[in-house]
Amino acid sequence: MTMQFGITRETACGYLQDQNERLIVAVPDQQCAMNTERYQYLLQHGFRRSHNDVYRPYCRLCQACQSIRVLANEFSYSKNQRRVINNNKDLVRRTVQQPAADYSALFCQFIEQRHRDGGMYPPDAEGFWYWCDCDWMTPEYIEWRDADQNLVMVSVIDAVPDALSAMYTFFHPQLAARSLGTYAILQLIDLCQQRNKDYLYLGYQIDECQKMNYKARFTPNERLIGNHWQKAVKSTKR
Tell whether the model's pLDDT for residue 65 goes beyond 80.
yes
Q: Rg of the chain's alpha carbons, rounded to an integer?
A: 18
pLDDT of 1 reads 59
Tens-place pLDDT, residues 113-157? 999 988 899 999 999 999 999 999 999 999 999 999 999 999 999
**93-119: average pLDDT:** 95
**Pair type for strands 199-205 and 163-171:** parallel
Tens-place pLDDT, residues 73-95? 999 999 999 999 999 999 999 99
Neighbours of 14 (CB within 10 A): 10
Q: Is residue 165 helix, strand or coil?
A: strand
* pLDDT, mean over the chain: 94
Residue 1: HSE in the Cβ half-sphere, 13 Å Cα cutoff: 18
Q: pTM for this structure?
A: 0.95
**49-69: average pLDDT:** 96
**150-172: average pLDDT:** 98
Average the pLDDT over each of 73-87, 186-200, 202-216 and give the range with the smallest value: 202-216
Cα separation, 131 vs 165, whole angstroms: 15
Evaluate whether 201 touches 69 at the Cβ level (below 8 Å).
Answer: yes
Evaluate whether 134 touches 52 at the Cβ level (below 8 Å).
Answer: yes
pLDDT of 211 reads 80
Quick one: which of 71, 68, 70, 21 has its CA closest to 206?
68
pLDDT of 237 reads 44
Of 235 and 43, more confident: 43
Residues of the chain with pLDDT > 70, as a percent, come to 97
Tell whether the model's pLDDT for residue 235 goes beyond 70.
no
Residue 227: HSE in the Cβ half-sphere, 13 Å Cα cutoff: 2
**211-236: average pLDDT:** 88
pLDDT of 238 reads 38
